[in-house]
Chain A
Amino acid sequence: MAKQKPSQRISEFETIETAVDDPEETVLSIDGVSKEYGREKAVEKLSLSVKDGELLTLLGPSGCGKTTTLRMIAGLEAPSAGSITIAGETVADGENGAFNKPEERDVGIVFQDYALFPHLNVAENIAFGLDELDDDETDARVAELLELVDLQAHDEKMPSQLSGGQQQRVALARSLAPEPDLLLLDEPFSNLDVRLRVEMREEVRRILKRAGVTAISVTHDQEEALSISDRVAIMNDGAIAQVGNPGEVFENPESRFVASFLGQASFLSARVTNRLETGLGSFDPELLNGPIEAYDGAMIDVLVRPDDLQAMPSTEPKADGYVVHRQYNGPNFIYRVELHSGDVVHCMHNHVETFEAGQPVEVDLAADHELAWYPAE
């Protein structure tokens, strides 16, 4: 299976979007926020803004500060420095110590384990945050949300009687009920099994778009981030490494960290002359994204992903390297190839093309897009 480009994937969603009043309006703005626990810095001088109706994902390895950031937006943690503004109101400011409690912010949260109230049924859970409405209005709103998340028949059930996917829908409906300015989703799919996870990604995106809500989700799963988000912010060590739409960050990672976090990245070392001299032969520098002139004569590393490379069985001395490992994924194989130049690259092949370990191969660069590169370290 050739990997689809994420930018194409998103257009595949059939979503009915609720019109957003002003798509240029900034709903959330985080300015230079830091959070320290004792000496430990969880988040450092993080700035970010999210526009009305946008779905942004904070993506990063565990411990990168993404959940802490989410909890500070919610008001469950107070920032040590910096300010957070939601819908024009400054809700936390490290300068003057201003801090709005969670109940004083119009922010909804979908928790990782959903945190449904076990003593209340589905309808009562959804109605929990609706205490400003009268009974009829509450009933109407609950019915509306049950319809939105497609659980009309389950309003009387207790949370323990629901499946994981249904619990998540209730959690979503409950947090959307009071019409929050901003919805936060904390690792929303991590408690679901793999099949359901893929299904719920589409479902959640559909619901969020139909509700027209601005949302921030947090995950360490790159596939999830790329598939549901309008924009992805990749975090590392308490700071944002890169923000952009999924296709942009996947194709043009600005740093090695981002590159290696997205997809199974390998780096091909190359000397820049008027051509690129690599372990796979020489290539036209036009293949790279961005101007290379300044690096004439220097070494660079070119980002190559498994789908950019093709291996062909060969014999010495024509071979570029040999197969050292085979990873079987069902639909495809990923071969790890050690090149004579010393680089290690990965090639993706159809599941019927089997090579054994030790097989000498020629590797072909078969990318139909520009390649990202980084100065050699």
Chain B
Amino acid sequence: MGARDRLDRLRERANIANRDADEPTALAAVVLAISLLLLSPIAWVLLEASEMPTGRLVELVLSETTTTVTVNTLLLVAAVTVLSILIGVPLALLTVQTDLPFKRFWTVTAALPLVVPSYIGAFAFVSAFGPRGELADLLAPLGIQSIPTIYGLHGTILVLTLFTYPYVFLTTRASLISFDGTVVEAARSLNASRWDAFKRVTLPQILPGIAAGALLVALYALSDFGTPAIMRYDVFTRMIFVEEQARNLDAAAVLSLLLLVLAMAILAVESRVGAGRDGAYVSSGDRRPGEIQLGYWKLPAMGFCALIATLCLALPIGILGLWLVRSADATQAGFVFGAQHVINSVTLAAAAAGLCVVVALPIAYLSARGDGTLSSLPERVSYVGYAVPGVVIGLSLIYLALRFVPFLYQSLFVLVFAYVVRFLPQAVGTTESSVLQVDPSYIEAARSLGYGPITAFRKVVLPLVAPGIAAGAALVFLTTMKELPATLLLRPVGFETIVTYIWLVRGAAYQGQAAIPALILVGVSGLSMLIILRQES
């Protein structure tokens, strides 16, 4: 080999090395910029609080409203979490480890309440059990004039529990299924009874699963806006909305800050539980322990499953059906639901989905392929949308827009950005898991066949991760369709979507007309759940 040849080769190699070094840096810079944008809602809350005179801040934090709202919220979160465990764990045990008849059917009915957006559930419950509701109408001829009110704490607890316990059910079920049955047999061969074996072996191992579900429920109960608003129960989300409508900006900011602190606290606990799950506690295997014979308990167990299914599924869907029948013969009055609402919702959702995919890909790629904590930092940051309640995102973007980009105020651009902040974690999650499944040696193979890094990515990685990206886009699309608080706060005047239509009708008590849009949203939620299930299998 001549000296010239060798020099050429060296130069070539150096070139490749240079390109290698350049590429992640450029990628990292883009990703960093995106991350900073994503953090803007939190930045606003902190900015607003820091600009406030200390006296006013202390006054607001210690005010009676704040105290009441904090107590109310904590009560609600605690009660919903505990009740969800009490419903979700027994249902998971019944459907996985016993000889309950029609197990598959009950598994589906136990998970299905997740497809009913909780504000629609709340709406249906008010319509069924509220004053002048269906139940009151039924009882009135019998001389019963008043029934206990559905509004307030217990109504909120009831509705939130019924529509969020499936999180506990699903995570508990997953850990029961992956749980290695031989350890139960081992325990019994060491003279532990069935109950002893459950307590000493099964329970400690499924505890992280239960905790993971319970924390999801807690986070949901903390940040849900629709249910407490409909149930007229003063929690952070509702009061932030009320203060915003009353233009009490500083009060809304302080409440937002406190809400954020609570959400972060729940997430901190969750990440610790998650870390524990990766540790020494996993025993997985495909052997199931023998089924528990229910015997005389078969009927009560089925009754329990049926009761939950009736409350969570039959009742809201029945109410929606009733509205549908009634609205058919009632004359259309006031607000008319039309194609425009659907078009608006779909347009917004498609824009959010498209933007999320574009943003998620570099973040997911960097996190999956990069080394060290620095490259996974943007991925962590993208989870901010998961932690920050929708009402806080909505509120902060209003004021950020007014202050820094007034020409964008009241534009759809801000609304779409809010959706991206909120739902980016879903797109990043599905994309990252599909990037992780692509063997890095594929790229090396493509490079060794003479393609540059970008061509190699386009020709090899992209086709392989496309299904994950598509799933992420579909998820964002569907969840955007049913998003309530940010849409309410940020939509331009006169721009109505399916969700805002339902909200309007609820306010004006023209329930009948909510039937069709509500059923559309239930269908949309059902689709997104199908996608999640397919991703997991």
Contacts and interface: CB of A to CB of B under 8 A. Distances in A.
Interface in B265-306: 280-283, 285, 290
Interface string A115-150: 111110000000011010000000000000000000
Contacts of A116: 183, 186, 283
A101 B195 CA distance: 13
A128 B185 CA distance: 13
B224 interface: no
Contact of B189 (A109, A117, A160): A109
Given A115-B183, A117-B183, A119-B204, A175 B189 contact: yes
Interface string A55-90: 000000000000000000011100000000000000
Contact of B280 (A76, A103, A111, A160): A160
A129 B290 contact: no
B290 A76 contact: yes
B188 A115 contact: no
A108 interface: yes
Given A118-B205, A119-B280, A103 B193 contact: yes
B264 interface: no
Interface of A: 74-76, 101-104, 107-109, 111, 113, 115-119, 128-129, 131, 158-161, 174-175, 177-178
B204 A109 contact: no
Given A118-B205, A128-B200, A108 B190 contact: yes
Nearest to A132: B191
Interface string B161-199: 000000000000000000010110111111111001000
25 contacts: A74-B185, A75-B189, A76-B185, A76-B189, A76-B290, A102-B188, A103-B190, A107-B189, A108-B190, A109-B189, A111-B182, A115-B182, A116-B183, A116-B186, A117-B187, A118-B283, A119-B204, A119-B280, A128-B190, A158-B280, A159-B280, A161-B280, A175-B190, A177-B190, A178-B191
Given A76-B290, A128-B192, 17 more contacts: A74-B185, A75-B188, A103-B193, A113-B180, A113-B182, A115-B180, A115-B182, A117-B183, A117-B186, A118-B280, A118-B281, A119-B280, A119-B281, A128-B187, A131-B191, A159-B280, A161-B280
Given A76-B290, A128-B200, A158-B280, A115 B193 contact: no
B446 interface: no
Interface string B74-118: 000000000000000000000000000000000000000000000
Given A128-B200, A160-B280, A115 B191 contact: no
What bracket does the count of chain B residues touching chain A fall in? Answer: 20 to 34
Contacts of A158: 280
Interface string B196-215: 10001100110000000000
In the A-B complex, list the 9 residue pairs whose CB atoms are closest, starting with the nearest.
A129-B190, A118-B283, A115-B182, A102-B188, A115-B186, A158-B280, A109-B189, A119-B204, A103-B191
A117 B193 CA distance: 16
B303 to A, nearest CB: 28
Nearest to B188: A102
Contact of A178 (B188, B190, B205): B190
B280 A102 contact: no
Contacts of A177: 190
A108 B285 CA distance: 21
A178 B183 CA distance: 17
Nearest to A184: B189
A326 to B, nearest CB: 37
B185 A115 contact: yes
A131 B197 CA distance: 13
B315 to A, nearest CB: 40
A175 B188 CA distance: 11
A131 B196 CA distance: 11
Interface string B302-324: 00000000000000000000000
Nearest to B201: A117
B180 to A, nearest CB: 7
A35 to B, nearest CB: 15
B191 A109 contact: no
A161 B186 CA distance: 20
Given A119-B280, A158-B280, A129 B185 contact: no
B189 A118 contact: no
B355 to A, nearest CB: 43
Contact of B191 (A74, A76, A113, A129): A129
A118 B187 CA distance: 12
Nearest to A101: B188
Nearest to A158: B280
A103 B200 CA distance: 14
A111 B191 contact: no
A101 B292 CA distance: 13
Contacts of A159: 280
A126 to B, nearest CB: 10
A102 B185 contact: yes
A158 B204 CA distance: 15
Given A115-B180, A117-B201, A74 B280 contact: no
B283 to A, nearest CB: 4
Contacts of B283: 115-118
Contacts of B191: 103-104, 129, 131, 178
A158 B276 CA distance: 14
A71 to B, nearest CB: 9
B270 to A, nearest CB: 20
Contacts of B192: 103, 128-129
